[in-house]
Chain A
Amino acid sequence: MSLLTVRDLNKRFGGVNALAGVSFSVDQGDVLGIIGPNGAGKTTLLNCISGLYRPDAGDIRWEAASISGMAPYRIARLGIGRTFQIVRPFPSMTVRENTAMGALFGRPEGRLQPGAALGEADDVLELVGLGEKRHYPVLRLTVPDRKRLEVARALAMRPRLLLLDEVMAGLNDVEVELALQMVRRVRERGITIVLIEHVMKVIVGICNRALVLNFGRTLVEGPPAEVLKDRRVIEAYLGQRYARDQQAPPSPPPNGEGNDRG
Chain B
Amino acid sequence: MTFAVGAVALVFVVLAPITSTDAAQQAGLPLLTDKLWFRIATTVAMFVVMASGWNIIGGLTGYASFGNVAFFGLGAYTVGVLVANRNWPFVLALLVAPVVAAVFALLVGIPLLRLRGHYFAVATLGVGVAVGEVVNNLEPLGASTGLTLPIVRSDLVFFYLMLGAAALAVLTTWIILRTRFGYGLLAIRENEEAAAVIGVNTTFYKVAAFCIAAALTGLAGGIFAQWNSFINQENVFAISDNVQMILMAVVGGAGTVFGPVAGAIALELIIQTLAGGGTSAVYSQIGLGVLLAACVIFIPRGVIDFFGGRSRLSLRYFRQTLRETSA
Chain A contacts to B: CB under 8 angstroms: 50-52, 71-73, 75-77, 81-82, 84, 88-93, 101-102, 104-107, 111-114, 139, 153-154, 157
Q: A105-B187, A105-B200, A113-B180 are in contact. List 13 more A-B contacts (CB 8 A).
A: A52-B197, A72-B193, A73-B197, A73-B202, A84-B194, A88-B194, A89-B191, A90-B191, A91-B327, A101-B187, A105-B183, A105-B198, A139-B324
A50/B197 contact (C-beta < 8 A), A90-B191, A114-B178 known: yes
Hey, which chain B residues are within 8 Å of A84, CB to CB? 193-194
Hey, which chain B residues are within 8 Å of A91, CB to CB? 190-191, 324, 327
A105/B190 contact (C-beta < 8 A), A73-B201, A82-B197 known: no
Chain B contacts to A: CB under 8 angstroms: 178-180, 183-184, 186-187, 190-191, 193-203, 324, 327
Contact of A154 with B327 in the complex, beta carbons under 8 Å? no
Give which listed residue, A73, A89, A139, contacts B199 with CB less than 8 A: A73
Give bound CA distance, A88 to B190, whole Å.
9
Give bound CA distance, A76 to B194, whole Å.
11
Hey, which chain A residues are within 8 Å of B193, CB to CB? 52, 72, 84, 88
Q: How many A-B pairs with Cβ below 8 Å?
A: 81
Contact of A153 with B198 in the complex, beta carbons under 8 Å? yes
A76/B186 contact (C-beta < 8 A), A84-B194, A88-B191, A111-B180 known: no
Hey, which chain A residues are within 8 Å of B324, CB to CB? 91, 139
Contact of B180 with A76 in the complex, beta carbons under 8 Å? no
Give bound CA distance, A102 to B193, whole Å.
13
B201 nearest CB neighbor, chain A only? A73
Give bound CA distance, A166 to B283, whole Å.
57
Hey, which chain B residues are within 8 Å of A154, CB to CB? 198
Contact of A114 with B191 in the complex, beta carbons under 8 Å? no
Give bound CA distance, A112 to B179, whole Å.
11
B327 nearest CB neighbor, chain A only? A91
- 10 contacting pairs across A/B (C-beta < 8 A): A51-B196, A52-B196, A75-B197, A76-B199, A92-B186, A105-B198, A114-B179, A139-B324, A154-B198, A157-B199
Contact of B194 with A89 in the complex, beta carbons under 8 Å? yes
Give which listed residue, B183, B194, B195, contacts A114 with CB less than 8 A: B183
A50 nearest CB neighbor, chain B only? B197
A104/B186 contact (C-beta < 8 A), A72-B196, A76-B199, A153-B198 known: no
Hey, which chain B residues are within 8 Å of A75, CB to CB? 197
Contact of B197 with A76 in the complex, beta carbons under 8 Å? yes
Hey, which chain B residues are within 8 Å of A77, CB to CB? 199
Hey, which chain B residues are within 8 Å of A114, CB to CB? 178-180, 183
Give bound CA distance, A81 to B199, whole Å.
9
Give bound CA distance, A101 to B196, whole Å.
11
Give which listed residue, B191, B199, B202, contacts A106 with CB less than 8 A: B199
A163 nearest CB neighbor, chain B only? B197
Give which listed residue, A50, A90, A139, contacts B187 with CB less than 8 A: A90
Determine how close the nearest CB of chain A comes to the CB of B146; give it in whole angstroms: 44
Give bound CA distance, A82 to B201, whole Å.
16
B184 nearest CB neighbor, chain A only? A105
Hey, which chain A residues are within 8 Å of B200, CB to CB? 73, 105
3 smallest A-B Cβ distances: which pairs?
Answer: A106-B199, A105-B199, A90-B190
Hey, which chain B residues are within 8 Å of A139, CB to CB? 324
